[in-house]
């Protein structure tokens, strides 16, 4: 990874990549979706436990590069307790942050720590690493139990 990524942002990604949060199987998950990014070799499983329309619990397992692990880790910490529509809105913000909109036009208050992922947008090859967990999440919230490919 290039040094262009801000030091702080880089550090957060490295920390989450090495010590991911909510990194475990969720035995009582109501939705389970696998995501694969063949370009990088990232493979992860996202577990979501929905209670009414709220994410009661969320976790993930898998193996991949630091960016894919950090993104999944940050995602699970950001979404626990959120309503499905809030989670889908956040998916939209993160996806836009990584693929199109300059980060200063995004609601930084809602993105919170997820803003550290914005540095990844400068590295097109790594964007799919960062969006992998989010695509799996969206499929999970849409009620699909299937394999998601980031390609
Ligand atoms: Zn990757």
The DSSP annotation for 50-79 comes to EETTEEEEEEEEEE--HHHHHHHHHHHHHH
Per-residue pLDDT of 97-119, as tens digits, reads 898 756 566 777 778 888 888 88
Span from the CA of 137 to the centroid of ligand 1 (angstroms): 17
User: Which whole number is the average pLDDT over 86-106?
Assistant: 83
Task: Give 85 or 10, the one with higher predicted confidence.
Answer: 85
Q: Is a pLDDT exceeding 80 seen at residue 94?
A: yes
For the chain, which domains are there? 3-149 (3.90.1010.10)
The per-residue pLDDT for 151 is: 61
Are the CB atoms for 33 and 135 separated by under 8 Å? Answer: no
CA dist., res. 40 & res. 83, Å (int):
31
Task: Give 104 or 126, the one with higher predicted confidence.
Answer: 126
Whose tokens are 């889908």? That residue is: 88
DSSP single-letter state for residue 53: T
Residues with Cβ within 5 Å of ion ligand 1? 40, 42, 65, 68, 129
Span from the CA of 79 to the centroid of ligand 1 (angstroms): 21
């Amino acid at each position: 990874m290039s040094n262009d990524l801000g030091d702080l942002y880089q550090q957060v990604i490295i920390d989450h990549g090495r010590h991911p949060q909510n990194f475990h199987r969720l035995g009582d998950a109501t939705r389970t979706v696998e995501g694969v990014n063949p370009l990088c070799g990232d493979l992860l499983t996202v577990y979501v436990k929905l209670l009414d329309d709220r994410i009661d619990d969320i976790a993930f397992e898998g193996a991949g590069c630091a960016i894919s692990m950090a993104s999944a880790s940050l995602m699970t910490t950001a979404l626990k307790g959120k309503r499905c529509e809030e989670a889908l809105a956040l998916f939209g913000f993160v996806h836009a942050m990584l693929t199109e909109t300059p980060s200063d036009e995004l609601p930084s208050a809602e993105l919170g720590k997820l803003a550290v992922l914005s540095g990844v947008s400068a590295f097109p090859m790594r964007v799919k690493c960062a969006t992998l967990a989010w695509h799996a999440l969206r499929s999970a919230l849409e009620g699909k139990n299937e394999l998601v490919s980031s390609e």
